[in-house]
Amino acid sequence: MLASENIDILKRINAGKDKIGTDEAWELIKTYKTVVIGKGKKFHVFKPVEENREQILKEAIGRSGILRAPSIKVGEKLIVGFNDEMFEKFVKQ
């Protein structure tokens, strides 16, 4: 998917082996200026501040209890999950 768009992957983490749980996910998420989370046909954009923590984690953590994949760093944004419109708007820029 990313290679076909000429997007370089600088670091790849195997989500099956290197599971990122809720607390670790929040520590990662809060380091970004913006987090964009795609789920199904919708996506939401958040500023990762403590007041949004519960809502962000509710959307960013999958049923398995780990950070949803893919999770992609694009500049100062963290893109979590997949949605075609979100990918076009935030990743392919």
48-83 pLDDT per residue, tens: 999 999 999 999 999 999 999 888 888 899 999 988
Is 60 exceeded by the pLDDT of residue 88? yes
Contact, 25 vs 16, CB < 8 A?
A: no
Q: Quote the pLDDT of residue 48.
A: 97
Q: What is the pLDDT of residue 87?
A: 87
Tell me the C-alpha distance between 33 and 27, whole Å: 13
Q: Is residue 89's pLDDT more than 80?
A: yes
pLDDT, tens digit (0-9, with 9 covering 90-100), for 8-43: 555 666 667 788 999 999 999 999 999 999 988 999
- If one counts every other C-beta atom within 10 angstroms of the C-beta of residue 54, the result is 9
Q: Are 26 and 57 in contact (CB under 8 A)?
A: yes
pLDDT of residue 59: 95
pLDDT at 7 over 60: no
